[in-house]
Amino acid sequence: MSHVLIHDPTLRDGHHAVRHQLEAAQLRSYAAAADAAGIPVVEVGHGNGLGASSLQVGRARLSDDEMLSVVREALTHSRMGVFMLPGWGRAQDLDKAIAHGVDVVRIGTHCTEADLAERHLGHLSERGVEAHGVLLMSHMAGPDELAEQCARLVEFGARGVGILDSSGHFLPADVTARVAAIRAAVDVPVMFHGHNNLGMAVANSVAAVEAGAEIIDACARGFGAGAGNTQLEVVVPVLERLGHTTGIDLYRLLDATDFAGRELMKAPPSIDSVGVVSGLSGVFSGFKTRVLEISGREGIDPRDVFFELGRRQAVAGQEDLIVDVVAALRSAARDQERHA
């Protein structure tokens, strides 16, 4: 069996669930607890990554500098990670993260647009920082396409590559096929990041490891967008029971996730009807809050909104499309009423 590196984005992806409003004390305390548990990488930042705090996707309570400074001070053993999407973040944002002592930087792109990461991966390589390239909305591409895109990320300087099941759409067989194809195409560690819309995040993470993934993302209590992410306190003991080592102290892990459940979130993410539809339609879980807000105001069924967004292949960063979809559905409903 293998050693699996656990990457914990609780303090980044979890931000989606609380409108990016975590306070410094919350960041500091969870980071310290994760560090004590021996979690290898603790990721921090706005839900959409470096430079993303904005009116479009939400203003964070703290600046990137504040978040990085607080978490860096709290970590004595764990490495600090950050995430950036080209277009939201810039080279200047990467330089700020480097100045704060970041250890691992992930550059994310849409699953068929790895070329957008070239400049940033090169920038990080020149500065000697461990950089990974990750592909979002990976259900929108098949195994061969994802493998080709990951191979390009390696050419650009990525020292790790992988896929995000951004909408929680995958079943284990989907993950197995994609991770196996990527594993065969690259000679760097492969990662998998799951969302739990269909209740498959842990099973999908196990499938990824069995197909050759060496890095698994997981959040305390599944803290993350929509229906949440792979549950950290579940996937670690499951992997250990299967014979894969993680190096994480179980009791201290449970202490850290208990703290997160009490102090970071009002309630753990749950798989509600909208979450299921988000997964089925293949729409990013982070759209949930905005879809409910806008559809509720206009009297439109949010499930219809998600399926239409899926038909239009909406991706993260296109939250403005929600307004257009709701308007179109409302207009269609009025037309039906007039002809009834």
Tokens of 205: 């993470």
Element (H, E) at 249: none
How many C-beta atoms lie closer than 10 Å to residue 258's C-beta? 14
CA-to-CA distance for 124 and 250, rounded, in angstroms? 34
Element (H, E) at 168: none
How many C-beta atoms lie closer than 10 Å to residue 24's C-beta? 14
Answer yes or no: 110 catalytic: no
Residue 190: which of 218, 158, 222, 225 has the closest Cα? 158
Q: What is the dihedral of CA 251, 18, 64, 214, to 10 degrees?
A: 50
Q: Under DSSP, is residue 7 helix (H, G, I), strand (E, B) or coil?
A: strand
DSSP 191: E
Q: Under DSSP, is residue 54 helix (H, G, I), strand (E, B) or coil?
A: strand
Half-sphere exposure in the Cβ direction for 192 (13 Å, CA): 34
Task: Answer left, alpha or beta for residue 75, where phi above 0 means left and psi between -120 and 50 means alpha.
Answer: beta
Q: Where are the alpha helices (DSSP H) in 17-117?
A: 24-37, 64-74, 91-99
Angle, alpha carbons 242-248-252 (nearest 5°): 120
Query: 337: burial class by Cβ within 10 Å (0-12, 13-18, 19+)?
Result: exposed
CA-to-CA distance for 7 and 329, rounded, in angstroms? 40
Q: Under DSSP, is residue 110 helix (H, G, I), strand (E, B) or coil?
A: strand
CA-to-CA distance for 205 and 160, rounded, in angstroms? 17
Residue among 3, 7, 15, 16 flagged as catalytic: 16
Catalytic residues: 16
